[in-house]
Structure 1
Amino acid sequence: MSTKKTNYSYIGIAFILLVFGIIFIPRIINRIKGDDITRSESRSQDVSKEAEKQISDLMFLEINGEPKKVPYFSFMNQDGKVITNKDYEGKVYVVEFFFTTCPTICPRMNRNLVQIQNTFSDFEDFGVASFTINPEYDTIEVLKTYADNYEITNPNWHLMTGDKDAIYALANVGFNIYAGENPDVDGGFEHSGNFALIDKNGFMRSRKDDFGNPKIFYKGIISEEEQTDEDGEMEEISMLKEDIAKLLKED
C-alpha cells in the first residue's frame, strides 16, 4: 500500500508540474517578452535620452549671489502688438539696445543679428529683442520700415518702442547695458554695442573669461568676416552663435 501511495504521489506531483508548465510558463514567457522587456528597454531608452541631454557650461550672471533674471517689460513691437518678457519664455534670445537713425554702430550690430537670425532660421525657439532708445522718433511705423529694410523675418524678433524712462531703466538696470542721451555725439544718443544672451528660463547667460568669471556680454559690432576691428579687438559673433546653439539644447 505504501508503494502504491508513493507512486500515486509521484504521479500527482508530475501531473501538477505538467499543468503548471502548460498554463503558466507561456504566460511568464509572454510577460518577459512583453511587459518586463518593454519596461527594461524603456528604462534603457530613458537613460539614453538623459545621456543625450546636453547641459551647457555657460555661466549665470549673478547679482548678490542670485542668478540675474530678465525683469518684467511691456512694449509695442513693429507690428503694433504688445510684447512682454512672457512672450520670450521657452526661447533663447539675444538682447540689444539701438535706434533707427544711429549713424555709427547700430547698422553693424543689426547686420550681425540678421546673420545670426539666418543661422538659426530653423529654430522656432530662437528670437531677438531689440529696444529703441529713441522711442519718440522710432514709432511702430518707423520700426516696421526698419525691419523690412534689414530683412528681419524671424517672428520672434521684436523691435520695441514705448515709454522712454522704462526703456532706459530696462537697459541700465535690467540688463546692465548702458544707454543714454548725449547731444554731443553723432545721432544724439550713446549706447553699448554689446549683446546679452538669455536662456529659455529668462536668465542671463554667458561663457567664462580667462579668469573663470562670466563674460556677461558679447561684442556686437565686429562681424565674423572682419575678425578684428581697428583696435585689434576680436569678433565675438561666432562665439555668440556657439553659445546660442548650446542653450537651444538645454531644457
Structure 2
Amino acid sequence: MSTKKTNYSFIGIAFIILLFGIIFVPKIVDRIKGDDVTRIESRSKNISTNSEGYISDLMFLEINGESKKVPQFSFTDQDGKTITNIDYEGKVYLVEFFFTTCPTICPRMNRNLVQIQNTFSGLEDFGVASFTINPDNDTQEVLKAYAEKYGITNPNWHLMTGDKNVVFELANVGFNIYAGENSNVEGGFEHSGNFALIDKNGFIRSRKDNFGNPKIFYKGIISEEEKEDEDGQTEEISMLKEDIAKLLKED
C-alpha cells in the first residue's frame, strides 16, 4: 500500500514538472528572442564608467574603443593661480580656445558663454575653461581685464595662458579643436568656434546627431536670440544648456 502511494507521488511531481515546461518555457524563450535579457545586460555596460546613481543619455566620445578624457594640463589663470585639469574634477564644464584681440568670433562666443554662466549662476559644480591661443599678448593682467569687461564672475571660469606650443597641442590633439596661427587672416590667428562639454569625471560628452553618432562639439558662435546664422545653421546654445543640466544630475 505504501509503495503505491509513493508511485502516485512520483507521478504527481512528474505531471507538475511537465505542466511547468508546457506553460512557462515558451514564455522564457520568447523573452530571450525579444532581447529583454540583452537589454538589461546592455544597461549595465552603459553605466560602467559610473556604476552608481544616475547617468544621462549623452554619449561618450570614443577613440580606439576608449572614452576620451581631458588630457592633463597646467596653466596660469587671470588671477595668477596655477590651474590644472585636477581643479575641474567633480565639475561639469565647457572648453573653448580664444584670444582677447580676436576681432571676429571670440566676442560672440564669450557673450554666449556669459549667458550660460548666468543660467547656472551659483552652482559650485559648473565651470568654464578658456585657453588663449595668443599667450604672448594675453598675460594674466590682460585676461583679468577681459574677464571684467565681459562680466565673467563664476569662480570656476578660468581664462588661462601659457606656452603657445603647449596650448596648440592641447587644442589640436587633446581636444581635437582646431587652433593655429595664420598671418593672412584678421587677427593673425584662426580657431574653431566650437565648445567641448566635459562631465564630472573628465570625459568629453555630447548628444547624438541624426545618424546616431556623437555630435562631439557644440556651435558656440550663434546665440539663442539669433536662432540661425546667414548660412542657415541653427544655434546650439539652448541645446548645450539642456545637456549641461543633464550632466549636473550625474553623480
Structure-1-length-normalised TM-score: 0.79
- 2:207 alignment partner in structure 1: 207
Matches within 5 A, 1:43-192: 54-192=54-192
- SS of 2:70's equivalent in the other structure is coil
AA aligned opposite 2:225: E
Cα shift at 1:176 = 0.3
Cα shift at 1:55 = 2.0
Separation of aligned partners in 1, 2:233 and 2:152? 27
* Deviations, residues 88-133 of structure 1 (Å, cap 9, x unaligned): 0000000000000000000000000000000000211000000000
Cα shift at 1:54 = 3.8
**Runs of 4+ more than 4 Å apart:** none
Separation of aligned partners in 2, 1:149 and 1:171? 25
What is the Cα-based RMSD across aligned positions, in Å?
0.6
AA aligned opposite 1:218: Y
Cα shift at 1:150 = 0.4
Separation of aligned partners in 1, 2:79 and 2:123? 21
AA aligned opposite 2:76: M
- SS of 2:79's equivalent in the other structure is coil
AA aligned opposite 2:72: Y
Separation of aligned partners in 1, 2:103 and 2:54? 41
Q: Which structure has the greater CA radius of gyration?
A: 1
AA aligned opposite 1:55: I
Q: Which runs of 5+ in 2 are unaligned?
A: 1-52
Cα shift at 1:227 = 0.1
Separation of aligned partners in 2, 1:186 and 1:230? 20
* Deviations, residues 147-203 of structure 1 (Å, cap 9, x unaligned): 000010000000000001110000000000000000000000000000000000000
AA aligned opposite 2:89: E
2:207 matches 1:240: no
Structure-2-length-normalised TM-score: 0.79
AA aligned opposite 1:105: I
- SS of 2:90's equivalent in the other structure is coil
Separation of aligned partners in 1, 2:122 and 2:109? 22
- 2:19 alignment partner in structure 1: none
- SS of 1:123's equivalent in the other structure is coil
AA aligned opposite 2:246: K
2:196 matches 1:196: yes
- SS of 1:240's equivalent in the other structure is helix
Separation of aligned partners in 2, 1:71 and 1:95? 12
Amino-acid identity (%): 84
The total of aligned residue pairs comes to 199
Q: Which runs of 5+ in 1 are unaligned?
A: 1-52
Separation of aligned partners in 2, 1:176 and 1:135? 20
